[in-house]
Amino acid sequence: MQLPRKNGFGSGEFDRRDFLKTAGATGLATLLANPTPSWAASEKPIKIGLVDPITSTFAALGQSEIKGAKFAEAEINKMGGIMGRPLQVLVEDSAGNPGTAVDKCARLLSQDKVDFLMGTVNSAASLAVSQFAERHKKVFIATGGHVDSLTGTACNSYTFRTCSTTWMLTAGDFETLFKKFGKKWYFLTTDYAFGKSEQTDYEAQLKKAGGTVVGGALAPVGTTDFSSYLIDVKAKAPQVLCLLLAGNDQVNAMKQIAQFGIDKQIAVGGALFELEQAQALPPAARYGWWTMEWYWNQPKTPHVADFVKRFAAANKGEYPTARVWFGYASTHAFRLAVEKAKSTESEKVIAALEGLVLPPEVALQPHLPMYRAADHQLLISMFPGHVNSTGKYPNLFEVSSIVPGASIAKSAKEMGCMLHKA
């Protein structure tokens, strides 16, 4: 595994010691011990440049995507690589920053000569890397940036997306929140593209259903004290507090909501929830109704139990999360496309990815998702449900249903995507 190189962002340089310290907390450091497969010198590697946050408020999510990608890399190389060539996933730290993400992509292209780009957690970085990929004519699979516009109004031929859109996330559980808890909503939203897109989508559905917005606030990324927002929530007395935050911000807000006792008075829920966040919360702060994008407990879905067992064995008992699956599935998608195209040329790989259906052993969900040709969006299932407040890891979420992505996704035309073919 290539270590993130030194850079000049933040308060200091991020070196190998920092990486091991950060990675050790989540088991990522064990990947450094994985032996590199032995290949003949003449067999040129196929290289994927993976840019994800190892630091910042999104660090836990980025590290999970890296684990999934590296697990797939090891799996693919054990099977003989791609077209008889070794696969290398080269990792860089975006620090959750769009400018840093683009700088790291430029380095991966110029110094490492990567064939493809992959990654991003926050939507602003996804949009920036998407534009970079189009300029440099490199295929980019966005693993974890959800903003609608990425495969909507800002779509381009070189960008594909594995995670869902914010519309799919919100449509996954809106009806449950509205019918179960009421029509008076308050939005506490992260002040960047992802949160704003989620709120726009929820508001559209709320308006159509006859609901009302009784209040709202935008919280900057990195907020640690939510008390002023929560005082306003109590004053407005909504029936639903819709929490549209991400990463550590959501963890901090949920802890403080519990301290204020708001979760006992008002229903709390929202679109996206992650197993990483559930793990980081104390039992008293585990509550609410949310949407997962993948979940490890699918007893009726073939291959899932085996995948969970293999991943846990390779990661000191850690269970795979949706973010792990994003990295895993995206890496395998590149493998499948290159093998289908019999080439690493961008235009041929784009054609192979368009309409590509993930096979059951990669999809790991009952409804096999497809990268839609019209906008390059993967139509994955949604897993709405509620937090298991009394559960112990990894049983921290109760899935109420598995919703096929194709049944709730807007069409490419409705999303505003007009692809110009590469």
214-233: per-residue pLDDT in tens?
A: 999 999 999 999 999 999 99
Write out the chain's pLDDT in tens, 422 residues.
343 443 332 322 333 334 434 443 444 444 434 445 556 656 899 999 999 999 999 999 999 999 999 999 999 999 999 999 999 999 999 999 999 999 999 999 999 999 999 999 999 999 999 999 999 999 999 999 999 999 999 999 999 999 999 999 999 999 999 999 999 999 999 999 999 999 999 999 999 999 999 999 999 999 999 999 999 999 999 999 999 999 999 999 999 999 999 999 999 999 999 999 999 999 999 999 999 999 999 999 999 999 999 999 999 999 999 999 999 999 999 999 999 999 999 999 999 999 999 999 999 999 999 999 999 999 999 999 999 999 999 999 999 999 999 999 999 999 999 997 66
Helices (H), 242-301: 247-260, 275-280
From the list 273, 228, 281, the residue with the least C-alpha distance to 246 is 273
From the list 159, 132, 165, 115, the residue with the least C-alpha distance to 293 is 165
One-letter amino acid at 224 equals T
DSSP string, 42-82: TSPPEEEEEEE-SSSTTHHHHHHHHHHHHHHHHHHHHTT-B
Structure token digits, residue 18: 């920092």
pLDDT score at 6:
36
- Report d(CA 330, CA 73) in Å as an integer: 11
Structure token digits, residue 157: 């031929």
pLDDT score at 214:
98
Beta bridge partners of 159: 140
DSSP 370: B
From the list 146, 22, 37, the residue with the least C-alpha distance to 91 is 22
Kind and range of the H or E run holding 213: strand 212-219
- pTM here is 0.90
**Is the torsion defined by CA of 246, 252, 257, 261 positive or negative?**
positive
Contact 382, 172 (CB under 8 A): yes
pLDDT score at 43:
82
Q: Which residue has the tokens 């799919």?
A: 168
Q: Are strands 87-93 and 383-387 parallel, antiparallel or unpaired?
A: unpaired
Contact 54, 64 (CB under 8 A): no
Domains recognised in the chain with CATH numbers: 16-164+305-380 (3.40.50.2300), 167-292+382-408 (3.40.50.2300)
- Report d(CA 373, CA 230) in Å as an integer: 43
pLDDT in tens, 300-346: 999 999 999 999 999 999 999 999 999 999 999 999 999 999 999 99
Structure token digits, residue 359: 């096979």
Beta bridge partners of 382: 403
From the list 209, 219, 215, 279, the residue with the least C-alpha distance to 245 is 219
- Report d(CA 263, CA 285) in Å as an integer: 9
Beta bridge partners of 119: 51, 142
**By CB neighbour count within 10 A (0-12 exposed, 13-18 middle, 19+ buried), where does 40 fall?**
exposed
Structure token digits, residue 63: 């590290």
pLDDT score at 201:
97
DSSP string, 23-49: HHTTTGGGGGGSPPPP--TTSPPEEEE
Structure token digits, residue 375: 């906008």
Contact 178, 211 (CB under 8 A): yes
- Report d(CA 178, CA 274) in Å as an integer: 21
From the list 297, 263, 266, 269, the residue with the least C-alpha distance to 283 is 263
